[in-house]
Amino acid sequence: MDLLEYQGKQLFARHGLHVSPGRAVVTVEDAAHAAHEVGYPVVVKAQVLIGGRGKAGGVKLAADEAELREHAGRILGMDIRGHTVRTLWIEHASDIASEYYASVVLDRSAKAPLVMFSVEGGVEIEEVARERPEKLVRRRVDALDGLRREDALEIAAEGGAEEDVRDGVADALVALYETWRAEDATLAEINPLIVTPAREVKALDAKVTLDGNALYRHPENQGLSDRENEDPIEREAAEQGVQYVKLDGDIGILGNGAGLVMSTLDVVAQAGGRPANFLDAGGGSDAAKIKQAVRLILANHAVRAVLFNIFGGITRCDEVARGLIAAFEEVRPQVPFVVRLDGTNDQEGRRLLAEANLPNVHTAATMNEAAAMVVQLAVTRPEKVGA
């Protein structure tokens, strides 16, 4: 779950990271009150889950109330790359002497937390990693020991932090790691981590991604993120307990198990197709859940064909077939379906589909065959399709 900047800063502050005083507001009048509280000059910052806010005009400096009202009125309601600005962060403006970069991520290949630090903050870190890799320090951390302060000092020194602020950088790194660990985050990033002329080190921005599977341990975080700008299909899927991620293709995908779904996406892409979604029906999916999944897939009107790839273990293939039959009776899809059933009760599942003789439903014996078939069917469908 991605957080808005101000939400990430609130988590940072909770764990001892220095941030500038600020207020989240939703109206121009509230923005004026917030600016009075935090003190001019202030920065008016659009709160959206997308980069490029500054270039789009979503970050403005205001020296007085007149400028504040002008900027707030212009930014509220602004569309930034498909995200509507509904919340502003009004923050006391900071004087900046230096801009650094700091982050903690999960290094899945090493199965360990990874701390990164660079004195070249304020720019895309991918550019630094690509063009000046020596400027980016990467240090894996033993998850049992955590990030010790002496290790954080070494990272700050190795990265080239100015000597008089290395203690401050080390404190920030330790607090950032603690935020990442304690909040069950998969990413905690500060870009830029600034040094002020008074040599204070603090977070000027925040990018935080929380592990949605761990939210049951953090009821205080469950209401975070940018709910109003979430994709409505993804929101509905989350409410129904279905793992669904919308993609930008035109082939709907359903599988049981995240690994199988990821493999299906890859095989469809290798066959020349573009997946429209990731949908994991999970283990033990019954007919009702399959019917629900069909509705979610077809709610995306870009979908031109659908691939069901089921390997039955706990999930029974006959239950999948019954769910698909029930969905066709109620939803009456107008797009072709390719179904591959293998595993528990697969023969019974294929028998049920054959007897139902559903319109425009095709079966395939292997995943590669199914992928090639669904790509071909998507190509030959007319442009205007849907459920």
- 148: how many CB neighbours lie within 10 A of its CB? 14
Exposure of 290 by Cβ count < 10 A (0-12 exposed, 13-18 middle, 19+ buried)?
Answer: buried
Pair 108, 38: CB distance under 8 Å:
no
Considering only CA atoms, which of 257, 335, 260, 243 is closest in space to residue 296? 243
β-pair partners for 72 = none
Catalytic residue among 91, 189, 244, 319: 189
Residue 101: active-site member: yes
* Sheet (strand 88-92) strand order: 22-25, 88-92, 42-46, 59-62
Do 320 and 282 meet the contact criterion of CB atoms below 8 Å apart? no
Residues making up the chain, counted from first to last = 387
Alpha-carbon gap, residue 380 to 360, rounded angstroms: 13
Residue 24's SS3 state is strand
Catalytic residue (choose from 101, 120, 244, 319):
101
CA dist., res. 323 & res. 329, Å (int): 10
Position 234: which residue type?
A: E
Structure-block tokens of residue 185: 């985050």
User: Which two three-digit tokens encode residue 382?
Assistant: 């007319």
C-alpha 226/C-alpha 96 separation (Å) is 29
**What is the three-class DSSP state of 146?**
coil
Q: Where are the alpha helices (DSSP H) in the chain?
A: 5-14, 28-38, 65-75, 125-131, 149-159, 166-182, 232-239, 258-270, 287-298, 317-331, 346-356, 367-380
User: Distance (Å, rounded) from C-alpha 268 to C-alpha 377?
Assistant: 12
Residue 192: is the preceding peptide bond cis (ω within 30°)? yes
Residues noted as catalytic: 101, 189
